Amino acid sequence: MNVPDRARRRPCCPFRRIPIPFVTKVPDDGARVKFSIEDRQNVKRCGRKSLCQFCGLALDPIIVFLGGETATLDRLFRQAPFHEECARYAIATCPYLRRTDDPQFATYCRGYKMMLARYPFSAIEDRNRAITSFIPRAIIRVEAVGRWITA
């Protein structure tokens, strides 16, 4: 799959040879990028400035949230929104999104509300840490990302 034009300016992972998403923490010491570790400041920046979590550019009027069945049904997403083409590319290439056991769904919407929420964390994590969550507004349709079939 071709890299979306918007994401071509992103730095590439030297090991996987794919763009590093805007919300992924890039190690300062040149160590291997861990796609599952977020840069919390960039996640918040995405929410405050309506930026795509993959390319870091301003979002279109219609945006996409990716999440599993529970997030889709509850309309509460932990990951920032995407442009549609960035979401498709991320699902196809991102090792973190591809490894999940929970099938990914796309929720199309116009606008969202960002909030801080507390989630149950494991014993080794800080239980008092607030994380950013996103609530989409004006849902347009929900599709299975793997097939992208209109529901």
1 part of a folded domain: no
Tell me which residue range forms the domain holding 111. Answer: 11-150
Number of domains making up the chain: 1
The pLDDT value recorded for residue 5 is 93
Cα 59–Cα 50–Cα 95 angle in degrees, nearest 5: 70
Q: What is the mean pLDDT of the chain?
A: 80
Q: What's the rounded mean pLDDT across residues 76-94? A: 89
**pLDDT, tens digit (0-9, with 9 covering 90-100), for 3-35:** 999 999 999 888 888 899 999 988 877 678 888
The pLDDT value recorded for residue 68 is 81
3 part of a folded domain: no
More confident residue, 66 or 149: 66
> How far is residue 114 from each of residues 5, 11, 117, 142, measured CA to CA in Å?
27, 27, 10, 20
pLDDT of 115 > 50? The answer is yes
The pLDDT value recorded for residue 146 is 45
More confident residue, 56 or 128: 56
4 part of a folded domain: no
59 part of a folded domain: yes
The pLDDT value recorded for residue 151 is 33
2 part of a folded domain: no
